Structure 1
C-alpha cells in the first residue's frame, strides 16, 4: 500500500472539545511548549477524538486501534511515535485531573524508532546550491528593468539557505528569527529551540555576507509596519512562514538534479554530517543542533562511518 499523507488536521467547522482546550492551555501556560509543538498535540488529539469519540471515554483498545489504522495508512514509525507521545501526555494529565478513571496509555508501547536519515548533500552540491542562488540574485539585479521585489526575494532565499546550512538550525527556528537575534560582530545567532530552550550558534563568512545583502538591500524592499522585528519576510512583508521556507529549499534542491535530498531538514542533516566529517565531536554537534539527547546526534555517525568505509575501500591497498 502506498504511503499517504498524515491527514491530522481537524475539520475547520468542528468545535474543539473542552478537555482538549484545557490540556492545550496546560501545555502553553504551565509547560511553556513552543507553538509548533502545541499545534502538533492539538492536531493529534482532535484526530483521535474525531475517530474514537469523547476523550473522557478513551480506553487502551481504542488508542491501539487508531494507531493501527494510521500504521496501515502508511504513516512512518516516527510519526506514529509522535502521536503516541501526544496521547500519553494527554491521558497522564487527564488522569491526574480526574477526567479519566485510569491512564490507558501506561501499557501503550512505542514503535521502534526509525534510524533513517534524509539524504545528505555532498560538499560540491552545497557549493552548487549556494552559488546558483548568488548568481540568480545578481542576474535579477543587473537586468535592464530589474524587478526589485524579485531581487529582494532572491537575496532572502540565498540568506536563508546559507544560514540553514551554516548553523544546522531547524526551519521553525529560522522562521522565528528577529533582527535582534544576531550578534553580527561576532557572527553568532541566538536560537529559540524546542521547549523554548535558547542556544547561541556561530555562522561563517559566506552566511554573514548573504545575511548582510538581505538586510541591506532585500529586506527594506519588502518591509512594512507589519514586519516589526522579523528577520526574514514573505512577499507581503510579514514574517516568513515555515511552508514558504520549505517550498524555497525544495525548489532549489530540485534544481540540482544530482541528489535525492529534499527540504530544510536535509540541510540540517548535511550540516551535522559535515561537522562530524570535519572532526567536530558529538557533544559539540549536539549543542549546535539543540538535541536534548546525545543518542539523537549519534544517528549521524552512521552516515560518517559509511563515508569512512568508502574512503578506506578506495585508498587502502589491501582494502
Structure 2
C-alpha cells in the first residue's frame, strides 16, 4: 500500500518549505515542478516518521534506502522512482549546503534510470491532414487552426503554448519569445503558414472571443479566458479524429514531429536543441533515432563503399 501523500509531519515540514522556497526563488523551477517535489518529499517524510526517524537531521543512508525500496515494492514506474529519488537527493544537498547536516545521506543511493522512450511522431502527411482538419470560419475554428499551425511550426511545450500572450509574438518578424523551464527565455522562429493562420485569428477570430475581463492571453476560450492545457489537449484530439487518424494523438506529438521533421530535413541538432529549449543536447539526441531509414538512405547514397 502506498504511503499517504498529505503534508509532511511538522518535524520535517519546515525544512521542506525552506528547500522548496530556495528551488523556486534561486533556481527558478516551475510551479508544477515544485508541486511534484513537495508531494515526493511529503511522502518520504511520512515514511521516515513511521520508522521513528525524528527529522531530516536524523535520516541515515539506510533510512533513505528503505524508502526507495518501499517505492519499488509499491510498483511505481521507473520515471516516478527516478523523480522521487532526485527530489530527495536535492533536499539532502540543500541541507548540507545550509549546514543543517554534515553529510549527504543520499550519496550512496542508487535508483533506476528512466528508459529513453522514443517520442511519438506523426508523418508529414499525417500532420498535413491534422492541420487541414481544423477548418471553418467561426472564431473557434480560426483559433484551432492557428493553434495547431503554431504548435507544429514552433515545437512549443503544451504549457508554453497555453500560456502564450500577445506580447510574446512578433508576426512581422516571424518569431516569438517564450519562457520555458527554469524561466529561461528563448526566441523561436514561426513559419510563414503559421504566421498567416495567427494573423487571421487575430483579425477575424480573437476579437469575437474577447470579454470585458479578458487579459493578454493569446488563445482564448468561449468565456474570454486563456485556454488551459486540458482544453488544448481536447482540441488536438478532436482535430485528429476529424482527420481520420486512427492512432491516439497526444499534444506532444506535434512538438516531437516538429523536431523530427527538422532533423530529417537536415537541420543542425544544436539549432533544434535551442528551439525546443532543451538544457542538454543529450535530450535532443533522442530524435536522431527516430528516422533510422533516413540514415540508411544517406549511407547508401553517399558512402564510397556503397553497393554497386
> Would you call these one fold, judging by a TM-score over 0.5?
yes
Q: Aligned-pair distance for 1:270?
A: 0.8
Q: Displacement, 1:73?
A: 4.8
Q: Where do 5+ consecutive residues of structure 1 fail to align?
A: 1-6, 142-150
Counterpart Cα distance in 2 of 1:262 and 1:8: 34
Q: Look up the SS of the partner of 1:107 in the other structure.
A: coil
- Deviation of 1:62 after TM superposition, in Å, equals 4.0
Give, in whole Å, the separation in 2 of the partners of 1:234 and 1:55: 47
Alignment of structure 1 residues 279-298 onto 2, 5 Å:
279-298=266-285
The one of 259, 264, 267 equivalent to 2:251 is: 264
> Cα distance, 1:196 vs. partner?
1.1
1:89 match: 90
**Are residue 300 (structure 1) and residue 301 (structure 2) matched?**
no
Aligned position for 2:237: 250
**Size of the alignment, in residue pairs?**
296
The 5 A counterparts of 1:143-158 are: 151-158=138-145
- Does the CA contact (< 8 Å) of 1:8 and 1:43 recur in 2? no
Larger radius of gyration: 2
Q: Structure 1 residues 70, 165: closer, same or farther in 2, change over 3 A?
A: farther
Whether 1:189 aligns to 2:176 is: yes
Cα deviation code 1:78-100 (max 9, x no counterpart): 33322222221112112322444
1:156 and 1:62, CA in 2 relative to 1: closer, same or farther beyond 3 A?
farther
Aligned to 2:109: 108
Q: CA-to-partner distance for each residue in 1:85-131, whole Å, 9 max, x for gaps? A: 22211121123224445322222224233121232100110001000
Q: Secondary structure at the match of 1:86?
A: helix
Q: Given that residues 118 and 261 in structure 1 are in contact (C-alpha distance below 8 angstroms), is that contact kept between their aligned partners in structure 2? A: no
Aligned partners of 1:107 and 1:226: how far apart in 2? 54
Cα distance, 1:261 vs structure 2: 5.1
Q: State how 1:46-125 maps to structure 2 within 5 Å.
A: 46-53=42-49, 56=56, 57-100=58-101, 102-125=103-126
Contact (CA 8 Å) 2:9, 2:45: kept in 1 or not? no
In 1, distance between residues paired with 2:221 and 2:5? 26
Match of 1:144 in 2: none
Q: In 2, distance between residues paired with 1:308 and 1:130?
A: 28
SS of residue matched to 2:186: strand
Query: Are the equivalent residues in 1 in contact too, given 2:6–2:39 (CA < 8 A)?
Result: no
2:134 alignment partner, SS class: helix
> Which is further off, 222-231 or 164-173?
222-231
Match of 1:20 among 16, 22, 28: 16
The match for 1:238 is: 225
The equivalent position to 2:265 in structure 1, one of 275, 278, 282, is 278
Q: Residue 154 of structure 2 corresponds to which residue in structure 1?
A: 167
Unaligned runs of 5+ in 2: 301-305
Scaled by the length of structure 1, the TM-score of the pair is 0.80
Q: 1:39 to 1:217 in 2, by over 3 A?
A: farther
SS at structure 1 position matched to 2:146: helix
Query: SS at the partner of 1:191?
Result: strand
Shift of 1:27: 1.6
Shift of the 259–184 alpha-carbon distance from structure 1 to 2, 3 Å rule, reads same
Deviations 1:236-280 (A, max 9, x none): 322222222223323433555546453222111111100000010
* TM-score for the superposition, normalised by structure 2: 0.83
For the pair 1:36 / 2:32, whether they are aligned, the reply is yes
User: Structure 1 residue 178 and structure 2 residue 165: aligned?
Assistant: yes
How far off is 1:66 after superposition? 3.6
